[in-house]
Amino acid sequence: MTDTHKTIVVTGVGVVSPYGIGLDCLQAGMLSGKSCLQRTKDDVYPGFEGTTAQIRGLGPLAGGSNSQHSRTDQLAVMATQDAMVSSGLDSSAFRDSGIVMASTLGGLTEIDAGIAKDPAAWYRRPAGLLRAASYPFAHVADAVGDHFRIQGPRCAVSVACASGAMAIALAANMLLDGAAPIFLAGGSDPLCPFTLSGFNSLQALDPNPCSPFDQNRKGVNLGEGSAVLVLETLAGAIARNADVLAVLRGWAMTNDAFHSTAPQNQGEGLADCICLSMEMAEVRRDDIGYVNAHGTGTPLNDSAEANAYETAFRGRNRPIPVSSTKSYLGHCLGAAGAIEAAITIMAVRSGTLLPTLRLSDPIESPGVDWLRGEVKRQPLPLAMSASSGFGGSNTVLVFGSARS
């Protein structure tokens, strides 16, 4: 019998992506097969030419001081607002909720070369000091909390590209510990000259739209966005007659302890993480109907990840269906795991398995069913979202249908 006080459910999902604001926009765009990856020249920063997924036409925040918010803050606040609307609760109902927000950038977008050339002049600009104060990545959780006057605990997570998923896992743990009755958990990251330059110096960027898990893959494309989940116990959701969107059945976090940027080539840390998440969810390998993979498109990540799936799902009666939704949105860094969690919830709710775009010659991996071509539609009681990051961080989330 289900213990409603120990069962974590998702009662709201907020998303800001290149498709627009809201899970419905995201679903419509992805089901259409539209990729948001486009050639970029000079509009992220002068001299950059490549492929990115941008959010255009982002308006100012309503009811807040935009001068003190970085673009990272702005995306997070907008996604949180969307999550609150999705939950059916007014923002005042979140007064005592907790916040766990991930980012790899914080307000780094607000710092430019002018601060080194003439610091005094840079700080004298309108809102120069306020914008600079948004630099710490912890400011994102504070921006959300201050905007909505939330008085519960606030936590920041920054463990590279697993950050968004880890924020959700940590919030679930805190919820079980009774730290707050409801948690807002997710991640936010914008496009930024510093990260584009960094990935370019690593020779990790594909100048064209990426092709994750293809034998001829050449690298990653960066994107931007934010996603926030409303998490509460099933008991709390029942008490307020909430619409349960999905059940967070299990989660796990591990670290490769291998290298500062490269994954362990056999994917051992991720494989362990997958197994631990299934153990917590009390499900078997054959119960998982789909994996929304980390799938960056880099040669090292995708081969290690394929090895992890072969190890973790060895013994299944059929290959595990896997796709990378970064082929639609690019890699949103600290927001990626949260956005992909939202996509996985969408998949469970609608029974849709999205293919990897531009996957023509998949990695040879007999234990994996690389999804490509058309969208598959089938009942999907359980699905998994996998995230990895520099430094060896791994987080896996297992979502179940609310009907289960």
Q: Name the residues annotated as catalytic.
A: 161, 294, 331
Phi-psi region of 300 (alpha: psi -120 to 50; beta: other; left: phi over 0): alpha
Classify residue 36 by its DSSP letter: -
Classify residue 213 by its DSSP letter: T
Sequence-distant (6+) residues with CB within 8 A of 36 are 17, 18, 19, 29, 53, 54, 223, 328, 329, 330
CA proximity to 157, closest of 386, 337, 13: 337
Sequence-distant (6+) residues with CB within 8 A of 124 are none
What span, in angstroms and rounded, lies between the C-alpha atoms of 20 and 7?
31
Q: Are 342 and 15 in contact (CB under 8 A)?
A: yes
Structure tokens at 235: 């008991």
Q: Which of helix, strand or coil describes residue 293?
A: coil
Backbone φ and ψ of 258, nearest 5°: -125, -50
Other CB atoms within 10 Å distance of the CB of residue 136? 14
Q: Are 295 and 387 in contact (CB under 8 A)?
A: no
- List 400's β-bridge partners, or say none: 247, 382
Q: What is the largest CA-CA distance in the chain?
A: 66
What span, in angstroms and rounded, lies between the C-alpha atoms of 242 and 244?
6
Give the C-alpha distances (Å, rounded to integers) separating 280 from 183, 269, 395, 400. 20, 17, 13, 13
**Cα–chain center distance at 79:** 12
Classify residue 60 by its DSSP letter: P
Sequence-distant (6+) residues with CB within 8 A of 201 are none
Other CB atoms within 10 Å distance of the CB of residue 265? 12
